Structure 1
């Protein structure tokens, strides 16, 4: 996933006990300007960890001290200690109740583990493939692109790292492209339902078992929402907790995971379905502004569906376990706020300026 400057997020998962070595910066090197922000993030993370495990930090030293003291006593001292207590039934019941209460409080205060059971990505058909040659041939035949814009898009494609197997939705294969609301909905249904179907098939989970649904798509936000579209298609339960995120940039995928994680902390024995996509059909830019031509070259067709769970019985089959999510929002900075901006160019064409 790609995180934009205006809202960057990071998540860490655990697959094995092996920890890679951490590179350290020499003491003579100057610290980067964002080091204070990075330090603040990890200070907050450490504080959250301390709050979640406060009972552990309080009781482990106490229990360890008592055990060490008992280990240093001989059997006769242990017998005399036992006889000196003179516990009656009421004292035993009160002590047992207190221990059960402390244990319950401890286990309730611990954060619930969040497992990534499985995920699936949409793979477009071969008919949607757009090699560089096809893309450039179409661009040269469009009247709203001059030769300078065509050459610019070719340079971006060559440097983008995209391969010859990337795909665009059917509406963008026409000359000129013919975006419409129905074509946009059709792309959304195709990419989202295909990814979810693959996920359900791989995990053998039923739609009725989904407790939480989080969908993110930044630029295409129809009514009814994409989350409602999924609920209608799969006939999900009426008490499902559903959320639809839009306008949050490329980092919305990790923001969705963060939201699902928070919901799984307060709703035990639950499954969360996270769907992340970007619908390309309605966002083709037909102008000559270079900053707005970039999305035409960089964004392609796709979707991902992720199944998260806090059920401990899913630990064995889960691919990953979520350790933590840290998010830093830079929206207060005007430069970061406008780094991805939807606007009109001088000719009135709507596009995404990067």
Structure 2
């Protein structure tokens, strides 16, 4: 036998031995997966499994009763009018109290995400060359921005406003207003066209934009543009970061509990024009590389008749604020650098602080959404650790049992990676977030709506599916919103993914 044949035989044998060693590990992981799945179904349907034998026993005993016994029981109930009237009164009173005090359902009728025109796209090379021509950045700052762009997860088709395409850029109040109008009115025009809603039917308006807060406010600009009614409840939220979209939804939800039979419109955006950083401090250059132009408009309703045409029902909103901690408060901070140029600084502790905020948020959210099987496992681990001082790892609940789709704020590649790892998600679960970051960049508080639109465009949203929107923002905040699909949801006309969804998902270069 030749030496090469011997080597091939040895190599084949080595591969077979290696595979034979790996096979038990694979089978073990598969078995554990199905054991956990079986445990989950057992605990979930435990009540049903216990009630079925009990009902069977009751039916069998009822069949064994004599007709005379059944007749005597009927007469006893028939003539005991006091008990019947008392029970009926309690039933009527309880039902009335429940109907009057229960929270009103909040429905998401439809939403729209703004898609800027293609002439506002910015490629990496053009971004760097444009930055060089402005003369504001030294070579170190330019190289730093190039590295951030290459590792960011952004693609070559994201958008920056028109004023930032000019040389020199024109970051004025007028051009910032122009960007705000273009984004907000573009999203609202499409929303009104798709839903057929009239301006006079809108009773509540909530607008959030963190860094651009002119006078009159952005909400007043919308009232003026669409001639909304004079008694509208309008609110303008500023300085609340990338999680302000969920905060705005929460505010609208609370207002819809008070004001009957009305619509609420929530507009979420951020302004790039007046908040571009023209200095060389590296922690303040990162937002230039990540933040891009975008916005969303959401139509909510508390009218029961809108359930038939609505896409989703709001199930939960959970908000977490870590602002009492100084490090958390300053981890995303707008300030001036040493030469007086204004920008937003991102702390190196950002991911650790975000992880702590996430932990606090899911501790509150978990009991509301997780099945009893996951809650029991978490409780058992906690008891064994606290009472018996057992050296066991903290049990991380499997949120895949609670949610079908995840919309993680596309704040950056590191944010998505961290949540994918900590929540033990699969690549398919974070696909909407990664692809939104690639196609549109970080559009701040509106990014979770571009992600939801991606899921719809892929045809993955089924009736009864639950969606978890989770976002982080300055302050520091972590906020969650949970929605339930009321039907098979198809993308609305003029979806931001309408002409490009067939190209996704795409392969994103390794960091």
Which TM-score bucket, shorter chain as reference?
Answer: 0.7 to 0.9
| CA deviation after TM superposition for structure 1 residue 181, in Å | 0.8
1:31 corresponds to: none
Is 1:288 matched with 2:280? Answer: yes
| 2:97 corresponds to which of 102, 105, 113 | 105
| 1:345 corresponds to which of 328, 333, 337 | 337
For 2:267 and 2:169, the matched residues in 1 are separated by: 27
1:200 corresponds to: 192
Q: What SS does the aligned partner of 1:322 have?
A: strand
| CA deviation after TM superposition for structure 1 residue 349, in Å | 0.6
| CA deviation after TM superposition for structure 1 residue 82, in Å | 4.0
Q: 5 Å matches for 1:10-89?
A: 75-86=70-81
For 2:291 and 2:81, the matched residues in 1 are separated by: 76
Is 1:228 matched with 2:223? Answer: no
| CA deviation after TM superposition for structure 1 residue 119, in Å | 0.8
1:218 corresponds to: 210
For 1:348 and 1:263, the matched residues in 2 are separated by: 41
1:174 corresponds to: 166
1:334 corresponds to: 326
| 1:270 corresponds to which of 262, 268, 286 | 262
- Map Cα deviations across residues 141-165 of structure 1 (whole Å, 9 max, x no partner): 1212011100111111111111111
Is 1:238 matched with 2:233? Answer: no
Q: 1:77 to 1:288 in 2, by over 3 A?
A: same
For 1:248 and 1:83, the matched residues in 2 are separated by: 64
Q: 1:294 to 1:100 in 2, by over 3 A?
A: same
1:148 corresponds to: 140
Looking at secondary structure, tell me which structure has more helix per residue. Answer: 2
2:369 corresponds to: none
- Map Cα deviations across residues 107-143 of structure 1 (whole Å, 9 max, x no partner): 1222222111111000001111111121111011121
| 2:247 corresponds to which of 242, 245, 255 | 255
| CA deviation after TM superposition for structure 1 residue 95, in Å | 7.2
Is 1:305 matched with 2:297? Answer: yes
- Aligned pair count reads 288
Q: Which runs of 5+ in 1 are unaligned?
A: 1-20, 25-67
| CA deviation after TM superposition for structure 1 residue 329, in Å | 0.2
Q: Which runs of 5+ in 2 are unaligned?
A: 1-32, 37-57, 347-511
TM-score (norm 2): 0.53
| CA deviation after TM superposition for structure 1 residue 270, in Å | 2.2
For 2:192 and 2:106, the matched residues in 1 are separated by: 19
Instruction: Report 1 or 2 for greater relative contact order, CA contacts < 8 Å, sequence distance ≥ 6.
Output: 1
- Map Cα deviations across residues 47-105 of structure 1 (whole Å, 9 max, x no partner): xxxxxxxxxxxxxxxxxxxxx9xx96954134312442356xxx96x876654332110
| CA deviation after TM superposition for structure 1 residue 167, in Å | 0.8
